[in-house]
Structure 1
Amino acid sequence: MREMESKTKLACGSDLWVISVLGKDKPGIIRDLLVAPAEMMVNIVDLDQRILQGLFVMSMVADFGRATKTPKELEARLQELAAELGLEVSVLPLDQYRGRRRGRKNLQVVTILARDRVGIIYDVASLAAGRGINIERAAVTARGELISIEFVMDFGVVDSHQLREELKIECEKLGLDVVVQDLDNSAKEKRLIVFDMDSTIVDFETINQMASFAGVDREVEEITERAMNGELDFEEALRSRVRLLRGIPVKALDEIAKNIQLTPGSEELIHHLKEVGYKTALISGGFTYFTDILKERLGFDYTFANVLEIKGDVLTGEIEGEVIDAAAKGRIVNDLARLEGIGPENVVAVGDGANDCLMIQNAGLGVAFNAKEILKKVSDGSLSKENLIGLLNVLGLAEKGGELL
């Protein structure tokens, strides 16, 4: 009679139960635990299993709709197995513990990067809770002093764009780098990554270095700053600066190239990206004299930059051919995607100034690096100067050291 009553309850909508397991990790646990549900015709419809510091943690959603035994009978069998395996097991009705959000979800992947400190997860959880955002999952990765937390958050029915901007602003106030991606977009394979050169892959503005040889440092740096902030038309600003460089000998460029300083982490980043099969490109508003050297040194598949006119081993103060400005950068991203036979969603772009806006917007994932405010506003998130290597975490290419359920 009891068995009949239980099966009647199952038919009335109590089919889904949560099986939770906790204990010391060792080989074969999942196999041993799943024997009983399989024998009892219990269907496992969802499963999440993690290892936290040697601790085995697993949650399963079990469907008893066609089961030959009741949840209590399965629990009794699992408890026997748990005692043998040194585990703790519980079986609870899903409806009793299910969260209130059961409608259509608006899932976003929020990746936080920072130097490790106490309270980072709490700070982000507080920002989310204060805006009605539900955290569905969180995973922690440690890389030296750098910590990365990848959250899967449900933004619900609220305007995603507004919440993204609020999270980016508030995280920056807390000294946290953040990148926010739609879950579907983040799951799409990324195959091409394009970088700006100056103040992104290279740890300075090469044109400012060139200006020191001509004694026009202040004038060039002022124009550079205004152009990067979007206060001046890029082409006009570039031609004005190059004219100030007229008469510089080519040997000065050789000296700069010989002492070119890469941004910390950039060499390791490019190496790792190429190792896992990414195509890489350098799209610069700087000059081919330096992008050619970086192509050879770092192995970029493609490089694009402006060509300095040289006569008699000195700069004429002019640029040959088309200027690589914001529009050209955006167009090159699209051209490269077509050349590689991929869509914009498979492209990542990283830059730092106003000249990178269209490049960032035309990519499936756009990251502002140590960037001006104008670029942060159109990007999916930003990384600070010491965190360029953290891009591996954003792309899911760093191994997770521990996870939170």
Structure 2
Amino acid sequence: MKTQRRVSAAAVALLFGGAGILLAAGPAQAAEVSYEVECIPPAGGGGPVRGTTTVSITAPATAKVGDEIEVVWKTVKPASNNTDLMDLGKDTVKPTGWVKLGGALGTEVKLEGERKNPPIPKNAPMVMSDMKGKVKLTKAGDVTITPGKYDVDFSGFVTHCSPKAAVGVAATIKVTDGDGTTSSGGTTSGGTTTTGGSTGGGTGGGGGQTDFPGKPVEVAFDCGAVVPGGIKTPVTINAKKNGGGFDLTVKTAKGAMASPMALPAGALKPSMNIKLGGADSGTVKVTGPANAEPIPDKAPVSLSDMTGTYKPGKSGKVTLSPDQLTIDVTMTPGSTPINVPCKAVSSGVSLELDTTAQPGGSGSPTTGGAAAGGSGTSGGLADTGAGDGGGLRALALAAGTVVLLGAAVFTFTPWRRLRGTTR
């Protein structure tokens, strides 16, 4: 009876684990292992967190040399719950994990999951998709599978988790030669894995590659009196080759804390200057659309992705770094936008590209003051004047409105200065 219960439990685990076998001569096996990890959030996301994660690894019990099998990692219990800062939206979390193959194969295999998850409320358990990877078995013998480090990517911002104690073997595959023996033989090369994208900060432009993901860099913005304390947020610059140029997409932190008041559609429109370095110089402007839908009271708030095109003026290695951020605020439809310029006082290189000079190509000249569309004056909201009294009165009602960019908040606050001119 106990044996029957164990078999039934294993069958249920396989059914709900979604485990798949690509090519396998034997039945699948699924086993759980728990181990302590330390998770390091992205810059600005708080300090390290320790906890115990439970992982189920599924792989075939037996296979032959030359088989390509699939290993599946299911996170049964995450190391920690979601924080109390914000709700995580649907399909915003992508996990990546690494397993060690011991015994006959001595290598590490990368497993990737889909960006697929239900909405995850504050303080609720993290829910991550199963991670999968393929391994070509090249040597006979027992192959052990041990889970290890893993990353959790939330809309481009990655938390890195690594073991802080010894991890037990989760599964063992008995790999035989073509004649059915398990003695050592065959080649000694390790297994192969599915490949993910480049990790950011890589060099682009050669080898037929078209997509060049950047790495998140922590940027501190000084917005003057408009935003006391400024803004700190990770910024990522991604590029896609388009002929001789590159289409850029710039992302700030996705997700936000609850807004204390309703914001109309079109209230927040971001733009940013991307500073060129290395072989080229100047800036490239990227802009994002305003929020298409109204933002209800207490709903999450974030800035849209910003896009633009870089046409190289010089050949060589060119670095791209986040520079000035500008936010146009329109509190009433049809009113003149209020320009909020935020100077980048600290930044870093997010991406490096290999470029070939194009006719008429070059970065835009670096300019001081506000970005295009701004007044270029230094007084923030107060210097826009009272020509749009209705818009300013509407904006003044937003005193205390808080918008989170990653772990940073900015608050529109110069209402004492505006009060005398808007009544």
TM-score range, shorter chain: under 0.3
TM-score by length of 2: 0.24
Considering fraction of residues, name the structure with more strand: 2
Higher relative contact order at CA 8 Å, sep ≥6: structure 1 or structure 2?
A: 1
TM-score by length of 1: 0.24
Considering fraction of residues, name the structure with more helix: 1
